[in-house]
Structures are given as structure tokens and as C-alpha cells.
Amino acid sequence: MNSTRRVRHMDSGAVSVLATTYVLSLISLIMLNVSFNPLKATLVFMLMLFNALSLTKVHLRLISRPRPLDYALLIINLLPYSYLLYIKYGLLGVTPSIGLLLIFVIETLRGKGRGAVANVAGTVLMASVYLPWYIMMGGSLHPVVFYIDIVWLTYHAFSSTYVEGKLPFRLIKPWVSSLVWFTPLVLVTYVVIGYLDTSVYYFIPLIEPTIRAIHALWEDKLNPNEVRLRIRRIGWGGLAESLLLLLLLVLILLQLKALLPLG
């Protein structure tokens, strides 16, 4: 009974990452481009639904008792993204996702599909489709797109590493998530200073995760007796924080659209 609840929790988490990532991609497309193709947006939405409904089940099968059908379904899920290899910016958009997929597959083949590395890679992999979906919907690249992509991926890497670090049966500690958050901030700062207008509002979405990352430096693991309750709370809190980050990034897009003649 407990394992069934845990599976449902993992599935809902995956669906929420994919859904919020699609919303962010769509809003970025509308805000940063003059033209909007409803057909492409609809096709990507259908791809998101297909990924959300099937990939979570495939993931659970691959890390337990994979069947040939599971491998076939995984390939079917990945095939639409091959379109990116034939259009402008395609390779740029798909490279991070390929790397994360390779990490997940390697860990699964090593029998560590339920391990911390595979779980983190899988979560960030789902968040990494922000840029592929944006490109597939016809979006043109802008420095703020790279800024959002880096922040979005780093946040999900930080959050998933934090959860893994809190589990008493994992070797990693909560402070590892702090390193995961702070290290890419150098790249974020470079993008803001080098390609954007260095306005303070680009750093506002970073405040809340940074405070949590600082606090995680001295946090301990959960007591084994309270794991189920506390992890559920952490999960709901993570969803709320993800939605807050989404809102702040959308506000940046609104501000940018008001200031610059984008298209």
C-alpha cells in the first residue's frame, strides 16, 4: 500500500514538472516572438501529454522489470524530438537533454535506476524540454531564453538533489544541493551581465532558492520515522516554490516585452 502511494506521488511530480515547463515555454514563445503558430503549440501540447502519461510508467518499468514494449515506448516518446536535429538551433536545444538522458540510461543499466543520480537526472531531463519545446513551437532564440533555461534547470537540479539529500538511506547530504545551486549561478551572472541589461529584476527569481540553499548547508537528514510525512510536505512545498519561480520568470518576460521591441 505504501509503495503504491509512493509511485503515485512520483508520477504526479513528473507530470507537474512537464506541465509547468510547457506553460513556461508557451508563455516565453508568446512574449518573445511576433508570430504565434497555434498548430505548433497544439502539437507540442499533445507531445507533452503523451510524455506525461507514458514516460512515468516507462520509467517505473525500466528500473524494475523492463519489457521490449517499454523500450519501444521510450523510443516512441523520443522520436518527435529528432525533429530538432533538422531545424535551426535544433542541436543547441537538444544537447542538454541528450546528456541527461544518457546519464539516466547508464544509471538504469547499472541497476541504479532508483538511485539519487538517476532520480535527479530524470527530474532535470523533464525540465530540460523547456528549450526544445520553445524551439519546436517556432520560437527564436533570445538571451533571456538562455537565462530562463539555465535558471529553470538549475532550480530543478537543486530541488531534486535536496530531496535526495534529506532521505536517510541516501549517501549524499543536503548540503550537496547547495553546491548544485551555487555553481551554475556563475553562468547565470555571465548571461545577465554579458547579454542582458543587468537589471536587478533578473536576480529576483534567484533569491528564494538561494536562501534555501544557504539553509541547506547545515541541515540534517530526516528521521527515518518521519520520512513519509516530511517528504510529502517537502513535495508540496517544492511544487509551490516551482510555481513561484514560474510566476517570477513570467513577470520578467512581461517586463522585457514592455521595454524592448522583440520579434
Mean pLDDT, the chain, whole residue set: 85
Q: How much of the chain, in percent, has pLDDT values that exceed 90?
A: 44
Mean pLDDT computed over 110-132: 89
Render pLDDT for 67-110 as a digit per residue (tens, 0 to 9): 777 778 888 888 888 888 777 777 777 888 888 989 988 887 78
Listed residue (123, 177, 176, 174) closest to 152, CA to CA: 123
Mean pLDDT computed over 229-249: 86
pLDDT band at 9 (very low <50, low <70, confident <90, very high): very low
**Exposed, middle or buried by CB within 10 Å (0-12, 13-18, 19+), for 79?**
exposed
| Cβ atoms of 251 and 168 closer than 8 Å | no
Q: Please count the helices (runs of H) and the strands (runs of E) in the chain.
A: 11, 0
- Tell me which of 60-74, 182-196, 226-240 is least confident: 60-74
Render pLDDT for 134-177 as a digit per residue (tens, 0 to 9): 999 999 888 899 999 999 999 999 999 999 999 888 889 999 99
